[in-house]
Every structure is written in structure tokens, then in C-alpha cells.
């Protein structure tokens, strides 16, 4: 299993959350909790987890070759962005983020763990 972190994801999401966890914490958390992903619609999954005693909510893309790409992450307590993620409520935002992610992958702007 490979975890792919795009530069955009790192800049838009991780930069503001790096006081809570490191990039390695994030990667290890995803790898250890793969069994608890909740399907939104193929290939998107949501993921609820706690890192260093802080709750987070994620949206991930998972491909058939077991590549996992996080596309969004928010603090659970951030009610403006993260009331309860669902396909109906956040479909456009998820698809927009996925388009940005595909663009980053095409330009090779990512790290593999």
C-alpha cells in the first residue's frame, strides 16, 4: 500500500494542521486504519480518526492498486467545513478537490510513502 500526498494537499490542509501531527503520523495512521474507511462513492472514502488526542475527519481516494490519496482533512470541531460529510452535501467540493489532485499527479507534484 502506498500513500500519496500531493503538494497541494500539503499546502492547503496539512500546513494549518501541522501543530497537531507530523506527515509521518498521518501516513502511519492511514496505513493502520485502512479497515475503517467508510465508502462515500467509488473511489471516495471518508475516514474518522484521532491523532495525538485530536479528532479529524478526512476524505480519501483509494485506487484498485491500493494507492491512497488524502484529498481533504478537517478538525472534527470545525463545524463550518465539516458538519457531517456525505455525498449529497459535499459532492461538488469532493470532486473539485479530486480534480486538483489529478492535476498535481499529472505534474508529478507529490510524495510517496
Cα separation of 57 and 49, whole Å? 7
Residue 66 has a pLDDT of 85
pLDDT in tens, 28-67: 999 888 778 888 888 999 888 888 898 888 899 998 888 9
As for how many domains the chain has, the answer is: 1
DSSP state letter for 22? -
Domain boundaries, position 28: 2-112
Cα separation of 89 and 91, whole Å? 6
- pTM score: 0.87
Q: What percent of the chain has pLDDT over 70?
A: 91
Amino acid at each position: 500500500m502506498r500513500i500519496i500526498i500531493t503538494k497541494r494537499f500539503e499546502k492547503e490542509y496539512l500546513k494549518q494542521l501541522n501543530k497537531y501531527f507530523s506527515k509521518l503520523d498521518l501516513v502511519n495512521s492511514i496505513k493502520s486504519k485502512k479497515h475503517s474507511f467508510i465508502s462515500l462513492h467509488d473511489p471516495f472514502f471518508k475516514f474518522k480518526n484521532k491523532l495525538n488526542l485530536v479528532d479529524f475527519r478526512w476524505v480519501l481516494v483509494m485506487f484498485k492498486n491500493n494507492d491512497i490519496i488524502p484529498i481533504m482533512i478537517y478538525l472534527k470541531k470545525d463545524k463550518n467545513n465539516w458538519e457531517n460529510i456525505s455525498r449529497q452535501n459535499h459532492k461538488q467540493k469532493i470532486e473539485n478537490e479530486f480534480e486538483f489532485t489529478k492535476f498535481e499527479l499529472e505534474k508529478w507534484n507529490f510524495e510517496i510513502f
